[in-house]
Structure 1
Amino acid sequence: MNPSSSSARCEGQSPTDDLMDDWLLLSSESAGPLHLEVSREDQDSEDRGKLKSKLVSAWNSVKYGWSLKQKSKFSKSSPVIMFGQSYKLIDQERERFRCSFVTLLWLTYRRGFPQLPGGSLTTDSGWGCVLRTGQMLLAQGLLLHLMPPGWTWSVSHHVVRDDMDLLGLNSKEGSNKRGRRLSLDLRLFRPMAATHRRVVSWFADNPTAPFGIHKLVELGKSSGKRAGDWYGPSIAAHILRKAVAASTDLPNLVVYVAQDCTIYLEDVKRLCERPPPQSWKSVIILVPVRLGGQELNPSYITCVKKLLTLQCCIGIIGGKPKHSLFFIGFQDDHLLYLDPHYCQPTVDVTKENFPLESFHCKHPRKMSFSRMDPSCTIGFYAKGLKDFESLCTALLVCLLLPQALSTSAETYPMFIFSDGKSQEEEKGGYTPPNNITYIQRKNERKRVDTSNSMDEFVLL
């Protein structure tokens, strides 16, 4: 099934096998190479740049598209954990999972958008995957921030489209009864559908979108990055912080990025406090970490699982270098994720009722924890002060797990809390270092080159 065609549906049959296939992400047609037609008369440099951009996009569609045809197997005997919710993949629970999964915003490579500044690129295919996973992380936080608990896109989308079948209305019912039911559902779902559409437009591929690829590239310049470069998970976190701070659409939301694997409570308090009657802003907390050397330290797998069971966790961005993924949950020893490496045409969000289907993935995928790269950024959301206090309590329990379960004397928490404020904040700002990190072992510090990962972390 082509992810950009047809509407999301939540009906289906219960699995009959212990292992069941996922809903295929790509058909053979959609995963195939793109056929490009280029006029022989287009010889100037701008057109050559556009052609190069299209060829890169086509190559990456083939490179990643064919791999997406592979099936993921999901067991019906073990629950799937996704954003703090547990689902058994049988009967109604399976359909509830599918509705929740398809609600997530899926932000992928795009092609054919306005040129990015400083070059002729009209696609981010092959280099923008970390920015796309960062967009998905932020989008999940925005859905929690703006939408009511339990809202799903599929139901709201179809109700507003006046789909009588998906309203559960029988054709034999009287028109008055159908009209009353439809009117009630429209009053309930239309405002949420409009908010959802507005959130999608914030991630559009045009220079005016506050969280679009153009804005993120522009904000990345202060970190020495430009369009076509590799953006690591840590730099992406700081770009997201700047993007939310620069936006006028979210006055009650702030983003805090942990420094040196430490959440400084005084800094969070300074960001979130506001005058009465609303004395505390909502906050997205991003924690860049590195959980091992070249591979994920096995002692942290249990902790990662525990974090993904928390409803305050809005996901993890990371993956193998230059192949970033958005991790949203797990089943047994496999991570559930959304993959940005599928290049789709740009959607013009300025059109009324622009199509939404390509922003929602219908087909979950998973991979082994052993394949997870240790360089990642973990996201959390707290709507108010009480939620933030609950978040801190829950995280403190999770962070003690590696030490409690491991016999190694060198197992440290993923990150820590501090009552004070960071030294960088006292100096008036923070700029991520380049390709150098420190390993803390007892009282000794040792410099390590991390240029292979092309990002900066405190190595745990």
Structure 2
Amino acid sequence: MDMMFEAYLTHEANSKSEDIPATTEPVWVLGKKYSAMHNLEEIRKDITSRLWFTYRKGFIPIGDTGLTSDKGWGCMLRCGQMVLAQALIHLHLGREWRWTAERSCRDMSYRTYLRILRMFEDRRAAPFSIHQIALMGASSEGKAVGEWFGPNTVAQVIRKLAVSDEWSSLVVHVAMDNTVAIGNIKRQCFTPPRHIEGPSGIMDSKSPSWRPLLLIVPLRLGLSEINPLYIKGLKVCFTFKQSLGVIGGKPNHALYFIGCVGDEVIFLDPHTTQPTASLPEEKSYIKLDQVEATDNSYHCSFASRCHILGMDPSVAVCFFCPTEKDFDSLCSQIQQQIVLPERQPLFELCSDRSCHWSPSDESCSSTASLLDDSVKFSTKATMAEEAACIALEDFDRQFDDSDEDFELLG
């Protein structure tokens, strides 16, 4: 097991000098505000608790490609895994849950955490493995296994894979055309998941409740570099409690940005190659040392940082809303802190949209009044409506060339 940590420890040693700076400016990590002068250890605990997915080597070949490592091509796929894993941690364990290396397998929260981690293992059967993401990219997005993804592509793949996760019943909505359509999202979140059945084996007639939402907004913030007009709005996104960070990177270098301090962004870097590692079956969890070495390799003690202008302009901003109230609050914050104050906001809000629709100031109603009314939808949503929502997003993408617009990050 000693070899398991060689790259991991090297990464820690190199990253310590790039750790949180000594500053009086607030430090934001996934919507939580810290003081670098007074909360340094809390910041590091928060960062360490994020699941850190990196390149791996020695796993079962992906499909018939013969590829047993994602080194050199899988960094954006790993960033997508980190965002999705963080959504599941939020959902099943809460934002304040903290990981420690010394846990008991009798601890139910730790067992839940291990269940989440197993979903991302490097094996075909894991629902969110590098295998599943790469193969879904090939079958639905036209990206050959081993080809780099852009932020929009990995978001679309996550959206399709999440449908199979019955445990979480997560709705992944990818907002295209720089527009968050509130009505479409709410209809999708109030649609019952496909697996819900009543006592007789048919759909339960009880009114559907809100399904947790992972909202991903792919954006292009410049041509070859970020337009300074967008810096304030991008930084504001990290301050929302619903923040799940930003998928993006530096040119040709995909990264998962989890926060900011001043004009710098804080990120987790997947560019460390570790041996593939698997947890034993849950029934085999007898002693902690059976899972400790593998578990530790999924956590990074020190994040890195870079100036926000050093980011590639192709990004995807991510938010998690476990309740309808959280989503309404997010929309209100976006309207008040991003849309209204900015001459050229990061993205827009609108009440609704239909097929092959392009946003404009005239077609978007007053979002502020819409939020005051707290848009509600009929409780008679059906499974067919969920399928229609997914079909609508795919239909819209026929007219969207954003895959070409996004610079692919390696």
TM-score by length of 2: 0.78
Q: Which is worse superposed, 386-395 or 414-423? A: 414-423
Aligned to 2:378: none
Q: What are the ranges of 5 or more consecutive residues in structure 2 without an aligned counterpart? A: 193-204, 357-387
Aligned to 1:164: none
> Is residue 26–residue 69 contact of structure 1 (8 Å, CA) maintained in 2?
no
Residues 430/204 of structure 1: CA separation in 2 closer, same or farther (3 Å cut): same
Aligned to 1:339: 269
Q: How many residues align?
A: 352
How many Å separate the matches in 2 of 1:97 and 1:119?
Answer: 41
| 1:128 counterpart = 2:74 | yes
Q: What are the ranges of 5 or more consecutive residues in structure 1 without an aligned counterpart? A: 7-24, 32-64, 162-185, 404-410, 439-448, 456-460
Aligned to 1:102: 48
Aligned to 1:296: 226
How many Å separate the matches in 2 of 1:133 and 1:287?
Answer: 15
Per-residue CA deviation, residues 220-250 of structure 1 (Å, 9 max, x unaligned), is 1211012110100001100000010122332
Aligned to 2:394: 430
| 1:418 counterpart = 2:353 | no
Q: Secondary structure at the match of 1:296?
A: coil
Q: Return structure 1 stretches of 4+ with deviation > 3 angstroms.
A: 2-6, 65-73, 274-278, 350-353, 424-429, 431-438
Per-residue CA deviation, residues 190-212 of structure 1 (Å, 9 max, x unaligned), is 11101111111111100011111
Q: Which is worse superposed, 262-271 or 115-124? A: 262-271
Aligned to 1:210: 127
Aligned partner letter, 2:24: S
Per-residue CA deviation, residues 107-127 of structure 1 (Å, 9 max, x unaligned), is 111111100113110001100
Aligned to 2:377: none
Aligned to 2:175: 258
Aligned to 1:307: 237
Aligned to 1:80: 27
| 1:396 counterpart = 2:323 | no
Q: Secondary structure at the match of 1:158?
A: coil
| 1:319 counterpart = 2:283 | no
| Cα shift at 1:379 | 0.6
Aligned partner letter, 1:305: K
Higher relative contact order (CA 8 A, sep 6+): 2
> Is residue 103–residue 360 contact of structure 1 (8 Å, CA) maintained in 2?
yes
Map of 1:229-308 to 2, 5 A cutoff?
229-251=147-169, 253-273=170-190, 274=192, 276=206, 279-308=209-238
Aligned to 1:37: none
| Cα shift at 1:434 | 10
Map of 1:137-176 to 2, 5 A cutoff?
137-154=83-100, 157-160=101-104
Per-residue CA deviation, residues 404-428 of structure 1 (Å, 9 max, x unaligned), is xxxxxxx522111222234157874
Aligned to 2:320: 381
TM-score by length of 1: 0.70
Query: Considering only CA atoms, is the larger Rg found in Structure 1 or Structure 2?
Result: 1
Aligned partner letter, 1:430: D
Residues 412/122 of structure 1: CA separation in 2 closer, same or farther (3 Å cut): same
> Is residue 247–residue 315 contact of structure 2 (8 Å, CA) maintained in 1?
yes
How many Å separate the matches in 2 of 1:434 and 1:103?
Answer: 40
Q: Percent identity between the aligned chains?
A: 32
Q: Secondary structure at the match of 1:388?
A: helix
Per-residue CA deviation, residues 38-71 of structure 1 (Å, 9 max, x unaligned), is xxxxxxxxxxxxxxxxxxxxxxxxxxx9986864
| 1:220 counterpart = 2:137 | yes
How many Å separate the matches in 2 of 1:80 and 1:330?
Answer: 6
